[in-house]
């Protein structure tokens, strides 16, 4: 009963429970979680396009982007102090596929977030979204590098594409951020 109350409290606070072993299963769960959080950001962008650009939609984009950044950061913290389990060849191949897919989808998503910068520039939260992208850049690179360190080499063209899209999106938000 006590555990049920704790789980209910954690759920109500929006706390995600992350296991602390970077096993193949945990790694795939991490990719699934990133996919789910990314879907929330994508939906926020789609709602903006349909319902218009107002304070609510900008807040929605901000909060879903913050959830994505915090989720990745939490995964990094959970994986920081554990020893990587050995992955067999098939697991390495499967996880490499997930790395490639994540790089591709995240590159597309971050480009879309960047493309919103000019449209939402008059809203106070827009510079904060730009700052979130800087944190995202650091946390996503850390996550993917940590996963890649357990594999032989998961390099692909999507890595450069993701890096370029992050750089472009950050520049788009920098352009709308008032200079002090």
In a domain, 1, yes or no: no
| Domain coverage including residue 100 | 24-80+87-176
Give CA–CA dist 113/137, Å, rounded. 13
In a domain, 28, yes or no: yes
Q: How confident is the model at residue 177 (pLDDT cuts 50, 70, 90)?
A: confident
**pLDDT in the model for residue 5:** 39
At 165, list the tokens.
């899209």
Cα 99 from chain centroid (whole Å): 13
Mean pLDDT, residues 1-15 taken together: 40
CATH number at residue 64: 1.10.357
The three-state DSSP-derived secondary structure of 55-100 is: HHHHHHHHHHHHHHHHHHHHHHHHHHCCCCCCCCHHHHHHHHHHHH
Range of weakest confidence among 84-88, 110-114, 156-160, 175-179? 84-88
At 4, list the tokens.
């049920």
Could you give the number of structural domains in the chain? 1
In a domain, 7, yes or no: no
Give CA–CA dist 113/105, Å, rounded. 12
The number of residues in the chain equals 180
In a domain, 163, yes or no: yes
């996963």: which residue's tokens?
Answer: 147
What's this model's pTM, rounded to 2 decimal places? Answer: 0.82
């Amino acid at each position: 009963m006590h555990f049920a109350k704790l789980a209910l409290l954690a759920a109500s606070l929006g706390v995600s429970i992350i296991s602390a072993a970077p096993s193949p299963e945990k790694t795939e769960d991490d990719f699934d979680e990133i996919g789910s959080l990314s879907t929330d950001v994508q939906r926020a962008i789609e709602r903006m396009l349909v319902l218009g650009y107002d304070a609510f939609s900008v807040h929605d984009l901000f909060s879903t982007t913050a959830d994505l950044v915090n989720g990745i950061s939490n995964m990094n913290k959970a994986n920081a102090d554990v020893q990587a389990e050995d992955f067999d060849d098939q697991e390495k191949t499967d996880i490499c596929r997930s790395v490639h897919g994540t790089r591709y989808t995240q590159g597309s998503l971050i480009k879309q977030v960047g493309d919103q910068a000019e449209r939402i520039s008059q809203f106070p939260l827009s510079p904060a979204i730009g700052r979130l992208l800087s944190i995202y850049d650091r946390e996503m690179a850390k996550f993917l590098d940590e996963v890649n360190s357990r594999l032989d080499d998961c390099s692909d063209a999507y890595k450069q594409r993701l890096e370029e899209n992050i750089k472009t999106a950050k520049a788009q938000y920098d352009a709308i951020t008032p200079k002090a």
